Amino acid sequence: MDFRFTDEQDMTASVVRDLLSDLCQSADLRRLMASEEARDENRWSKIVEMGLAGALVEETAGGFGLKAADFVLAVEACGYACLPEPLVENAGVSLPLLAEAAPDNELLAQALAGEITVATGHPSNLFVCDADTAGALVIGNDDGLFLVERQKAELARQPSVDPFRRLFAVDFSPADATRLADPAHAASMLDAALDRGALFAAAQLVGIAQRCVDLAVAYAKDRHQFGKPIGSYQAVKHQLATAQVKIEFAKPILYAAAASLPEADMYSRARISHAKLVAAEAADLSARTAIQVHGAMGYSWEVDVHFFLKRAIALETWWGAPAFHRERVACRVLGGELGPEHTFAKEARDA
Amino acid sequence: MDLQYTDEQNRFRQEVRSWMEAHVPAAPLPSFDLTREGFEAHRAWERALNEGRWGMVTWPESYGGRGLDLIQWLIFEEEYYRAGAPLRVNQNGIFLLGPTLMEYGTEEQKARFLTAMASGDEIWAQAWSEPQAGSDLAAVKSTATLDGDEYVLKGHKIWSSRAVFADWAFGLFRTDPESQRHKGLSLIFFPLDAPGVRVQPIPQIDGETGFAEIFLEDVRVPTFNRLGDPGDGWRICMATAGFERGLMLRSPARFQVAARKLVELYRAHEDEVEPTVKATVMRSWMDAEAYALSIYNTASRLVAGGQIGAEASTNKIFWSEMDIAMHKAALSILGARAELLRSAPAAGDVGKWLDGYFFSLAGPIYAGSNEIQRNIIAERMLGLPRA
């Protein structure tokens, strides 16, 4: 029992964190927004060079075979930076899904090499994110799991409130697609994709929450009213402390959920759902607190808080809305073992 | 990251479980805050724990402990609450003063006080606050005047938990009469039956007398009873408060058992409660899990040599607010029965939720009010400027 990240896990995160603090600053985001381009090519090429695309893909399929717990802090850093490019969905969800369904597919090899990205169309999500820049789409529906080259799919943009999210309604003809699995086999793979998607959405939301608090703290130290920094007043301090408490108690759920993800049972799924719920709440509270602390500036386009508010709105329902996740928690609470000896339930069940 | 217990940890859990199943009193003990009889029943339980060497498993063997680490302490606590064992009447001693004595006491002081603390022979009260020194603890006025190798204590302490029936108290006194605020304070122990000590119980919101006023009129104690150097009391007190808020005051198992009981209560009344109650019950369970995971996280860090920091304050806010929400959820399930006292024929086991609700309302106040904790988080964790 050692609930700490290893040095290697911290290292993976700090590589991503450092790169993004360098290349994903406010000015970079605003330049990309003004250009209306899909990606910051310089940043994306640096991200591709890190070679993280295959991080979570099994080594037998050509990846690194990392676990969710090895990647979760890096994903948190992507949320903290409001990263526009699809590192999280590509490496965290799409490629593990494609690798499980079609380990020998040529498109997987291209994706692992960083030549293309893959976007996932999942029954949990209304639309497909970053479909236009992807080389291929993995789509799950009532008829099974399909692989479609992007050129063979019909995409209709659905503008998101988040200026950096590129959502598309996707249509394709089964004749143009490869069926990777029938509905029965697709179901377990789609469940696993949902678990990863929800976990990594939660991780991004924790990062978003912390960024909002950090932005507000920086402003509250700088902004003076009544002759003092506004951050010296308790009315401001206490709001920020309350948001930080929310974050502090979302993190351990997130990290434990990452560690137990491979168990793929009622207990591990409830923990992922728990993480998603509280991470979304932490992001929501932190974003709204940050707006309040910034005062009128917080309601302006000029201050960055709205980027994070909008990403938080989008991710709250992405990979399962709160009602879905609350129900998964309820299933575990009403159908599983309760009590302090079941915190790490696997042990108790195996005993 | 490794969230599996080792074989040794699993064996330890079984050992605790077997002992608890064999020794935990079948019927709940009467409250230790209401009568001498209830207090002494809890002292007898402390003695039984000590005889099994379960009094304080993290303490060195020489003081009656087992020299175990904080993960094992958590496992012990889980089994302790799982078994429904009595609340610890000596928690001021074993959870607050004990760890502080271990860190700041001389060998002679440890030998004198820790063993008697672990055995339950000496039950401790705390004596920090004064009428004009609550959240602003550095405003304490009670004095300890040096006279040869004795201190003469004079002053008025208040909100002293367990002081009505306890044997000893530890408190903050001004040893330097010229000093101001945080300087010149010392942490001093005194027996509650010493000449010049008068204890006045304070009836609480629930009718019990869990705290008291202590009037000290020329109470003489040896300088041996001072912990640390003269004037070092504030620093030592803050260390004590860190332990209190941080980890040991409220172990996660307490809330996980309460959450389990809440779920059971919900199941029993599922058909009659309004639909929003389900979400509240699930929230309580989630919060108890979150608190447990957070403490495992902190304990892992401390076991590896880390220090407790501002999480002492985040924890205190989280568990105190969770405790209220959990009891409010129970009361909402009980509906019209929620107002019934334990003695009402129709009450069943309703009364304990009401008692628990009252006690939960004290949570955001004691051990440093949540407003003070939010200041600490804002200033020490977030780096916001002091007022």
User: Is B115 inside any structural domain?
Assistant: no
Q: Is residue B65 part of a domain?
A: yes
How distant, in Å, are the alpha carbons of A40, B74, B252, B253, B261 from that of A339? 49, 13, 10, 8, 9
Say yes or no: B226 and B261 in one domain.
no
- B256 and B331 part of one domain: yes
Q: Which of A182, A104, A92, A106 is nearest to A143 (CA)?
A: A182
Phi, psi of B360 (to 5 degrees): -65, -30
Say whether residue A229 is in contact with chain B using an 8 A CB cutoff.
Answer: yes
* pLDDT for position B105: 95
Is B95 contained in some domain?
no
Percent of the residues in chain A that have a pLDDT greater than 90, as a whole number: 97
What tokens appear for B306 in the block?
């880390």
Contacts of A12 in chain B (CB under 8 A): none
Are residues A344 and B13, on separate chains, in Cβ contact within 8 Å? no
Distances (CA, A) of B201 to B126, B153, B159, B161, B209: 14, 20, 9, 10, 6
What does the pLDDT read at residue B347? 82
Q: Is the pLDDT of residue B268 over 90?
A: yes
CA distance B263 to B280: 10
Is B304 a domain residue?
yes
- Of the residues B67, B89, B111, which one is the last residue of a structural domain? B89
Please write the tens of the pLDDT for every residue from A292-310: 999 999 999 999 999 999 9
- B317 and A3 within 8 Å at the Cβ level: the answer is no
Q: Output the average pLDDT for chain A.
A: 96
CB contact under 8 A, B4 and A333: no
* Interface with chain A: mutation pick from B377, B379, B380, B386, highest number of A CBs within 10 Å: B377
> Which residues have CB under 8 Å from B230's CB, separation 6+?
B175, B176, B186
For the domain that residue B202 is a member of, what is the CATH number?
Answer: 2.40.110.10
For B193-217, how does the pLDDT look when each residue is reduced to its tens digit (9 = 90+)?
999 999 999 999 988 888 999 999 9
pLDDT digits (tens, 9 = 90+) for A230-280: 999 999 999 999 999 999 999 999 999 999 999 999 999 999 999 999 999
User: Does some domain include residue B195?
Assistant: yes
For residues A223 and A230, is the Cβ–Cβ distance under 8 A?
A: yes
Give the H or E element holding residue B70.
Answer: helix B70-82
Q: Please count the other Cβ atoms lying within 10 Å of the Cβ belonging to residue B85.
A: 18
pLDDT over 50 at B343, yes or no: yes
Closest by Cβ to A347, choosing from B4, B294, B299: B4
Distance CA A94, CA A153 (A): 17
Sort A340 into a burial class: Cβ within 10 Å, 0-12 / 13-18 / 19+. Answer: buried
Out of B74, B89, B104, a domain closes at: B89
- The reply to whether B256 falls in a domain is yes
B83 and B155 belong to one structural domain: no
Domain shared by B255 and B370, yes or no: yes
Whether the CB of A318 is below 8 Å from some CB of chain B: the reply is: no
Of A4, A231, A347, the CB nearest to B5: A347
Does residue A132 have a pLDDT over 90? yes
Which residue of A217, A229, A278 is in closest CB contact with B382? A217
- Give yes or no: residues B30 and B137 share one domain: no
pLDDT digits (tens, 9 = 90+) for A137-165: 999 999 999 999 999 999 999 999 999 99
Helices A68-81/A183-222 angle, 10° precision: 50
Distance CA A283, CA A290 (A): 10
Does residue B116 form part of some domain?
Answer: no
Full-model pTM:
0.96
For residue B295, being part of any structural domain is answered with yes
Domain enclosing residue B222, as ranges: 124-232
Do B223 and B267 belong together in one domain? no
**Could you tell me the CATH number of the domain that includes residue B340?**
1.20.140.10
> Which residues, in sequence order, are CB contacts of A226 under 8 Å at separation 6+?
none
Residue type, A283: A
Quick one: pLDDT band at residue A127, thresholds 50, 70, 90?
A: very high
Chain B residues whose beta carbon lies within 8 Å of the beta carbon of residue A4: 1, 297, 300-301, 304
Cα–Cα distance measured from residue A346 to residue A271, given in angstroms and rounded to the nearest whole number: 12
* A276 → chain B, closest CA residue: B286
| Residue A346, pLDDT above cutoff 80 | no
Annotated active-site residue in B77, B122, B244, B311: B244
In this predicted structure, the answer to whether residue A221 has a pLDDT above a threshold of 70 is yes
Q: Tell me if residue B78 is catalytic.
A: no
Whether B199 and B320 share a structural domain: no
Our CA-based measurement puts residue A211 at a distance from the nearest CA of chain B, in whole angstroms, of 12
Task: Please say which residue of B41, B73, B89 terminates a domain.
Answer: B89
Q: What's the mean pLDDT in A119-143?
A: 97
Q: What is the mean pLDDT of chain B?
A: 93
ipTM over 0.90: yes
Residues B282 and B376 in one domain: yes
Q: Say yes or no to pLDDT of A351 above 50.
A: no
Q: Exposure string (b/e) for B118-129, b if CB count within 10 Å is 16 or more?
A: bbbebbbbbbbb
Chain B CB contacts of A333 under 8 Å are 263, 281-282, 285
Number of folded domains that form chain B:
3
CA dihedral B125, B128, B131, B132 (to 10 degrees): 180
Query: Do B78 and B153 share a structural domain?
Result: no
Cβ-Cβ contacts under 8 Å for B166 (sequence gap 6 or more) = B92, B123, B124, B125, B192
**Which of A5, A236, A245 to probe the B interface (max B CBs under 10 A)?**
A245
Whether residue B70 contacts residue B61, with contact meaning beta carbons closer than 8 Å, is answered with no
* Residue-range domains of chain A with CATH: 188-350 (1.20.140.10)
Mean pLDDT confidence for A119-125? 98
